[in-house]
Amino acid sequence: MPVFQRTTLSDAIVTLAPGMIRGHDDFVHIRGHEVALNPLINGVSFWENTHSVFSAGLSPDVIETANVMTGGFPAEYGNRFGGVIDIVTRSGLRMENRGAVTVSGGDAGRRRVGGEFGGRRGRFGYFMFGSVVDSDRFLSPPDREAVHDAARGAHVFTQFESTVGPLGLVRAVFMGDGTDFEIPKTARDAVLRPLATARQDTRQQTAIVGWTGVVNDMAVTASAYQRWSRARLFPAAGPLTVRAQGTRTLSTLGGKIDVTRFSGRHALKVGVDAVRLRPQENLAYNYEGYLEFTHLVGLPHIHVAGQSIDFAGAESGGQVSAYVQDSIRAGSRVTVDIGLRVDRYDLIVSKTHASPRVNLAFQIGDATVIHASYNHFFVPPPIEGVLSSSAGLTRSIEEIAVALPPLEPIVEDQVEGGVTTRLGPVQLALSSYVRETDNPVHTTIWPDSRIYSYASFDRARAYGLEAKAEVTSLFASGVSGYLNYALGRGEFQNPVTGGFVTEAAHIAETNRFLAPMDQTHTLTGGLTYRHAATGLWLGSAIEYGSGTPMGHGGAGHEHPEGAADHVDVPSSGGAPRVPGHFTAAVSLGVNLLRDSQRRAKLTLQFDVENIANNIYLIAQEGEFSPAQFSIPRLLSITAKLRF
């Protein structure tokens, strides 16, 4: 992948599995989910959204392997089910006291410097990584030209491991991440509201200490984990603008233990995970200046009682989860995975819920597997803005004037079936799914700000067909690649039942409408050729999306500046869509100064993103949400020196 597409976890995985859709504010949606990605870091799941506007995230450069799952979840997985990314971080135990320095630069002021070093001393292994990134184009801007869109970020990662003989492996991970970035604005804003220059920063510190060993023929994994994270929004200045500022902090403290025992045809696994959460939020929102601006230029608007909303709150709560699952070899060709997960959630609202899971796989011949599953999910409300979203702040929106109830946990059922097979060097997979959801959540962006809250709707439904082809065994000829296709549909059902929303129609109506992440056709792929003798390699990537809905159910709206015309698509609610898009990227590299084992000491890489310079509209969710435009053609060059 182009180096600058590996800056955040969301960007790094959005093209790697079927059904991942780019949405508003650079969110990644999976199978109709607003809260999509659930990364597990060495078996530990944290609750923060990985997207840049919510958290400092995790650098993909520290990942050794990442297993992406979108269905057929065993009972051990909880909390988020758009896509689970089971990450194993890089280990010094598998390195040879080696390191590397990487320097990248390119268009749009993009610069990156990173370094890593790892190795082992006897039973002790270590790995250290750090990087600094600058960019003049960070978030997807609301205009074709990126105005006031600079950012700087840094990541630090250390991992220490030690084998302790028969007692197993001890691992300690420490991470620090931070980003400072500007909130982009339009060219019209730069002229009419030159001082409207809001910005935001995020900070995150994480520690995980874990142990893996064998006790009385049972495999045991235990972890203790901690995280502190903060996101701060700094207000814009000048007249004709909202003055919005806010701070969200979250303290996380938890522990988990899993025990697995193999007996005959059974692999029985039980586990407990307990986490304590302490969110704190402070919010100040003054609407007066922006209301004047909407009258000046003819934009849609709302009315805020007293022109301002203020909130401050702190809560303590958490969740205790326990599960049991059994993977049964019912025959030489049949595997059945059955399990039950029980979650006790207690933060603002209290709920206890049991989630049964059944997954079945049947092998035909040597290369074909048919699989089917029924999974029941319990999803706690998103942790970002959970306090302000549940504080009844809709009483200050004059068009609504009543306080909505707090956010409730999401409850879902997903049925999935499919087949995987191998034809020569090509691995093929085809699956279909139906997901029914009660209390689905969706983000609400406050007008003229990047304050995010959540609203829960009555119901949602998503269904689709996904196909994947992967070339994995042509490495002798230097060729590898993949192709993903997804046919999907997602619908929400009004009314809004809790949380915070600014559009009164969502409370009064009971209709169905296309989910903002509904995209009928999505296609992604990549192909790489490596020439072993010369060290040259060439990689390419493609992405196609047929377009997501604009607005909710065809309500009146304006075209974003620079957006192409679009047409209504016959569908539930009749919502028009943004135009479809097709983009491609190419990378050319060479490995130099290779040793006797053909390991390169110097790699040079040249990347071209969006070759055709197709600046397309990614999303335009609603009348109070800014548009998001794609990157133009961008060039970059990278040098990586290994030592």
pLDDT in tens, 274-330: 999 999 999 999 999 999 999 999 988 999 999 999 999 999 999 999 999 999 999
Contacts with 550 (C-beta within 8 Å, 6 or more apart), sequence order: 557, 566, 575, 576, 577, 578, 620, 621
**Which amino acid is present at 540?**
S
How do residues 428-444 score in pLDDT, each as one tens digit? 999 999 999 999 999 99
How do residues 519-529 score in pLDDT, each as one tens digit? 999 999 999 99
Q: What is the pLDDT of residue 552?
A: 61
Q: Report residue 317 CA to chain centroid gap.
A: 24
Q: What is the pLDDT of residue 95?
A: 87
High-pLDDT (> 70) share of the chain, %:
94
Confidence of residue 40 (pLDDT cuts 50, 70, 90): very high
pLDDT at 597 over 80: no
How do residues 225-237 score in pLDDT, each as one tens digit? 999 999 999 999 9
Using CA atoms, how far residue 219 sits from 44, 125, 168, in Å, is 17, 22, 10
Strands 317-329 and 349-364: unpaired
Strands 83-89 and 37-41: parallel
pLDDT at 8 over 90: no
Between 309 and 425, name the one with better pLDDT: 309
pLDDT at 563 over 60: no
Cα–Cα distance for residue pair 435/70, rounded to 1 Å: 12
How do residues 387-409 score in pLDDT, each as one tens digit? 999 999 999 999 999 999 999 99
Confidence of residue 554 (pLDDT cuts 50, 70, 90): very low
Check: CB of residue 119 under 8 Å from CB of residue 92: yes
Q: What is the pLDDT of residue 411?
A: 96
Cα–Cα distance for residue pair 260/244, rounded to 1 Å: 50
Cα–Cα distance for residue pair 601/100, rounded to 1 Å: 9
Check: CB of residue 69 under 8 Å from CB of residue 84: yes
Query: Which runs of E-coded beta strand occur in 446-557?
Result: 452-471, 479-499, 512-514, 521-531, 536-545
**What integer is the mean pLDDT of 487-504?**
94
**What integer is the mean pLDDT of 129-153?**
94
**What integer is the mean pLDDT of 83-108?**
92
Q: What is the pLDDT of residue 472?
A: 75
Confidence of residue 137 (pLDDT cuts 50, 70, 90): very high
pLDDT at 534 over 60: yes
Q: What is the pLDDT of residue 474?
A: 67
**What integer is the mean pLDDT of 159-178?**
92
Between 640 and 621, name the one with better pLDDT: 640
Confidence of residue 595 (pLDDT cuts 50, 70, 90): confident
pLDDT at 570 over 90: no
Strands 124-135 and 110-121: antiparallel
pTM attached to this predicted model: 0.91
In terms of phi and psi (left: phi > 0; alpha: psi -120 to 50; beta: otherwise), the region of 109 is left
With CA atoms as reference, report the closest residue to 106 among 136, 142, 85.
136
Q: Report residue 342 CA to chain centroid gap.
A: 25
Number of helices (H) and strands (E), helices first, in the chain? Answer: 5, 33
pLDDT at 571 over 70: no
pLDDT at 465 over 90: yes
**What integer is the mean pLDDT of 241-268?**
96
Cα–Cα distance for residue pair 190/209, rounded to 1 Å: 48
With CA atoms as reference, report the closest residue to 196 among 206, 182, 210.
182
Cα–Cα distance for residue pair 248/282, rounded to 1 Å: 7
Cα–Cα distance for residue pair 239/448, rounded to 1 Å: 13
With CA atoms as reference, report the closest residue to 522 among 543, 541, 542.
543
Q: What is the pLDDT of residue 574?
A: 58
DSSP code string of 368-385: EEEEEEEEEEEEPPPSTT
High-pLDDT (> 90) share of the chain, %:
74
Q: Which residue has the tokens 């949405």?
A: 23
**What integer is the mean pLDDT of 66-84?**
89
Confidence of residue 473 (pLDDT cuts 50, 70, 90): low
Check: CB of residue 581 under 8 Å from CB of residue 545: yes
**What integer is the mean pLDDT of 618-634?**
85
Q: What is the pLDDT of residue 476?
A: 67
